[in-house]
Amino acid sequence: MQYPNNIKKNFTKLSISHGNRGMDLENSLNQSNDYYLRTNRALIYKKPTPIGIVDVSYTNHKKIIEKAYFKEQSTLDYNGLYRGKYIEFDAKETLIKTSFPLSNIHEHQTWQIRNVIKHGGIVFLIIRMNDIVYLLTGEDYINYIDTSNRKSISYKYIQEHAHIIKLGYQPPLDYLAVVDEIYFKGE
């Protein structure tokens, strides 16, 4: 993958300990996307983290970044093309067992989710919680925040509305199997 694994390592506090060789969620998704790419199943990439450059230098005509800081992605982290459709998603995890804090999802991300729905794309969140990885559709997410005043999504709502993604060996997280069921049923 084009994305340097070491950048976000320390933002990811959890590792998947059961049945997935201790991989964190981001690595599992990157490896799954690599697998989908190699097997011609889909073209899905994690976007590089945008940076703000403060200082550069030149060595042998090569531009080197001497100081920079991380910026926030305007979109969700992953996007691409699957079965002729635009697909975009983000991956989130929490250690809290009873609810998923909405502070994990930035306002511009919620704005982007609404927009992808409006323009006819497939959009969802992959949420890891209680050692289970769920896919929550953008529609179910928007429906929740538009009808609830809570600052978190109850685990009950996730259990009732989200879809479990099975952990495996190749790919580690076969989320496209769930996408097939939700968005391409009967095709």
Specify the 3-state DSSP secondary structure of 27.
Answer: helix
Span of 19-27, 64-72, 129-137, 171-179 interacting with a second copy by CB under 8 A: 64-72
The label of the residue with tokens 């992953």 reads 78
CB atoms within 10 A of CB 137: 22
14 interacts with a second copy by CB under 8 A: no
60 interacts with a second copy by CB under 8 A: no
Give kind and range of the element (H or E) at residue 161.
helix 155-161
Among positions 141-160, residues that touch a second copy (CB under 8 A) are none
Cβ 173 vs Cβ 32: under 8 Å: yes
Name which of 16, 30, 23, 9 is nearest 132 in CA terms. 16
Judged by CB under 8 A, which of 13, 22, 72, 107 binds a second copy? 72
3 interacts with a second copy by CB under 8 A: yes
88 interacts with a second copy by CB under 8 A: yes
Spell out, one character per residue from 120 to 139, where the chain touches a second copy: x when CB under 8 A holds, - when not: xx------------------
Nearer to a second copy, 3 or 132 (CB): 3
CB of 149 to a second copy, least distance (A): 27
Residue 68 vs residues 7, 71, 174: alpha-carbon distances, Å: 13, 9, 35
User: Where do the H-state alpha helices sit in 13-137?
Assistant: 25-38, 107-118
Q: What is the contact surface with a second copy in residues (CB under 8 A)?
A: 1-4, 6-7, 10, 40, 42-43, 45, 47-53, 62-75, 79-86, 88, 112, 115-116, 118-121
